[in-house]
Amino acid sequence: MDFSLSAEHEAFRRVVRDFAVAEIEPYAEEWDRTHEFPTATVLEMGKLGLFGLVFPDEFGGAEADFLTLCIAVEEIARVDSSMAITLEAGVGLGANPIFRYGTDEQKARWLPDLVAGRRLAGFGLTEPGAGSDAGATASRAELDGDEWVINGTKSFITNSGTDITSLVSITVRTGPNEISTIVVPTGTEGFTVEPAYRKMGWRASDTHGLRFEDCRVPADNLLGERGRGLPQFLEILDDGRIAVAAMAVGVIQGCFDHSLFYAKEREQFGRPIGSNQAIAFKIADMQVAVDAARLLTYRAAWLRDQGQAYRQAAAAAKLFASEAAVDATRQATQIFGGAGFMDESPVSRFYRDAKVLEIGEGTSEVQRMVIGRALGL
């Protein structure tokens, strides 16, 4: 059993880390303070090839394994969760549904720009009355000749309102007992992007509510098989849970790095605070947490890359890593003390950013449901 990464994976990690340290970390606090979505930086992430890692060469992708994407997400989350979720959602929730379920014509029309990172796509599943219970979708689409007429609302949709967003894929009720997926290009009449949310964290990430009022799109904008919308996106979420776990690994690693440095530099009572067991033990716990979370995440990615069943492993990785990240940010803030309470400190931003990891792409409670069902409970 070999736990080491390949030389290619390690070289790729260094490339992404160098980019994150040079192009994201110095500006993350300002973006967080101003709630600015840094389009130029996202486009540079595209030029680096990050949005196309897991897609075939025919669409401009790198044909890398899923573990490679997890490494990229982890390294960016190590310095800024907003840019990490922009990448994770752009790949997993934006381009991946088109790639997995789209027709040849749909793929040719939309994937090249999404894979290149020139454009972004959103995924509209959540509604005011349909969160963890995604089957409670109330938005509807009725077929009128050769067009779908869409009415409804979506909530908390990432990458849905940027100036480079090209489309959203949404789940809608196309019959009394039927949920399907339809692609709605931006600018379509009757499609309104609501004002951006005021958020606790991920403040440089783009998040909006969406409204559809007699919004008409061509009938061939149906994505995948009619009536299969919910199973399709539950499959998409399995991938997303691994990538969110990778985000959590990056957050824990960032907390560990900052805390270790601070504990060696900050002095109280005439000595570094890291010489106190109360501080040293917190940092030791972070080291254990990041190792355990990374192993669970990489195992889930490996199972997916090997074509083996991975739903339970994805849920386990997401559950453990997200809860460990929330705890790590709390402990890091405690280590920094008053400085950690100030937003100029990165651990303050990490603390606010981490909580949603226990909520997005399936709450911790949903992950426990998935694991319990896999155990026959």
Structure tokens at 197: 């949310």
Q: Answer for the pair 329, 281: CB distance below 8 angstroms, yes or no.
A: no
In three-state secondary structure terms, 151 is strand
Name the active-site residue from 88, 127, 358, 361: 361
Looking from the CA of 32 toward its CB, the CA atoms found within 13 Å total 26
Pairing of strands 191-193, 207-218: antiparallel
Identify the bridge partners of residue 291 per DSSP, sorted by sequence position. Answer: none
Contacts of 89 (CB under 8 A, 6+ apart): 122, 123, 158, 159, 240
- Residue 58 φ/ψ region, left for φ over 0, alpha for ψ in the -120 to 50 degree band, beta for the rest: alpha
By CB neighbour count within 10 A (0-12 exposed, 13-18 middle, 19+ buried), where does 196 fall?
Answer: middle
C-alpha span between 375 and 187 (Å, rounded): 46
C-alpha span between 182 and 172 (Å, rounded): 7
Decide if 361 is catalytic: yes
CA angle centred on 76, ends 43 and 69, rounded to 5°:
80
Q: Answer for the pair 70, 301: CB distance below 8 angstroms, yes or no.
A: yes
Instruction: For the chain, state the CA radius of gyration.
Output: 21
- Report CA torsion sign: 102, 42, 194, 351: positive
Which sequence positions are flagged as catalytic? 361
